[in-house]
Amino acid sequence: MTQQELQKERPDILFCETKHRLIGDFIAANHELMELQNQQTQAIIDYDPDFSRVEDLIHVAREIKDESKYALIAHTDDEHYC
């Protein structure tokens, strides 16, 4: 079923505040992870011997990104077709 068919079938769901919040959370988490990876990459380029100092932060940021991704997936799969 296409998105247009779903909207015709369920016209009451035109805007989902929760979905948009979850998308924003996912984008922010991805941005944070990329920033940390960029810092580590720059440290390697600069021959910084302590380039692994952000490894724990990268690990935590990846977990947060994954949690936000799965929350978004769960919402769109389980709640409704918005």
Task: Please check whether residue 29 lies inside any domain of the structure.
Answer: yes
Identify which of 69, 72, 65 has the alpha carbon closest to the alpha carbon of residue 30.
65
Task: Please check whether residue 10 lies inside any domain of the structure.
Answer: no
DSSP state of 14: S
pLDDT value of residue 80:
60
pLDDT value of residue 81:
57
Q: Domain residues for 34? A: 16-79
Question: What pLDDT, in 10s, does the model give residues 8-33?
Answer: 555 555 678 899 999 999 999 999 99
Task: Please check whether residue 5 lies inside any domain of the structure.
Answer: no
Question: What pLDDT, in 10s, does the model give residues 50-68?
Answer: 888 999 999 999 999 999 9
Task: Please check whether residue 9 lies inside any domain of the structure.
Answer: no
Identify which of 69, 70, 43, 45 has the alpha carbon closest to the alpha carbon of residue 55.
43
Number of domains in the chain: 1
Task: Please check whether residue 30 lies inside any domain of the structure.
Answer: yes
Instruction: Tell me the whole-structure pTM to 2 decimals.
Output: 0.73
